Amino acid sequence: MAFYEPGRPGKAEADAPKTKEEVKADIIDFVRFIIIAVIVVVVVLNFVIINATIPSGSMENTIMTGDRIIGLRLAYIRNDPKRYDIVIFRYPDNEKSLFIKRVIGLPEETVVISEGKVYILPEDADSSAVSDSELIDSPMMFEGTIMLDDSFCPETPKGGGYYDGVFRVPEGHYFMLGDNRNHSNDSRFWANKYVARDKILGKALFRYWPINKFKIFRYKGIE
């Protein structure tokens, strides 16, 4: 038995073919939906998130080659990058390329790398009268100098020993290192060694691929 509710179209009326105007309206609605969806995706990818595939092992074992990650472009709208943040930025020697590294040196800090270990001089340290070689030989000569977390993949000496150096970070810039210190093209080796604040595009939030290795990037080490 068929039921008919007054005020609703009957079967014959519901099965009636659509008019040309109705078909045209449906097509316009569909095209409008596609356009809005494309605009939303473009806005999200260009102003909200970064979807990136990792091309090298410079951040192992934190992030592996081939991993896919999501970064947040809005992370530093109000706040500045912090030490140990993993960030995506424009490579200072070729800004067409995007790099991902860990923030190590903050603006106006002096970073000393000695025998593969990383030190930060205190803010009030006057190292202008001290040579770079002296700082490398005695990185703790200033009271208040700190040695940073060495739990990443530490540098091991190669043919010519360690790649030691003294790096004085300019105002508004950052010193970057990869977690895999032996296989990372980072601030130690660039011609333009520091990353300007406005070239940092976002903060890496989590790895979503491989799906069985989903990981939120949180720093759990020590200062």
Q: Which pLDDT does position 7 carry in this prediction?
A: 57
Class of residue 144 by CB neighbours under 10 A (exposed 0-12, middle 13-18, buried 19+): exposed
- Assess contact for 167 and 185: CB atoms under 8 A: no
Count up the domains in the chain and report the number. 1
Q: Is residue 122 part of a domain?
A: yes
144 in the Ramachandran plot: left (φ > 0), alpha (ψ -120 to 50) or beta? left
Q: Is residue 174 part of a domain?
A: yes
CATH code at 203? 2.10.109.10
55 lies in which domain range? 46-216
Residues 148-199 have pLDDT tens digits of 988 888 888 877 788 999 999 999 999 999 999 999 999 999 999 999 999 9
Q: Is residue 11 part of a domain?
A: no
Q: Which pLDDT does position 93 carry in this prediction?
A: 98
Tokens 């005020």, residue? Answer: 7
Give pLDDT < 50 ranges for the chain: 1-4, 223
- pTM score, whole prediction: 0.81
Q: Which pLDDT does position 6 carry in this prediction?
A: 56
Q: Which pLDDT does position 36 carry in this prediction?
A: 79
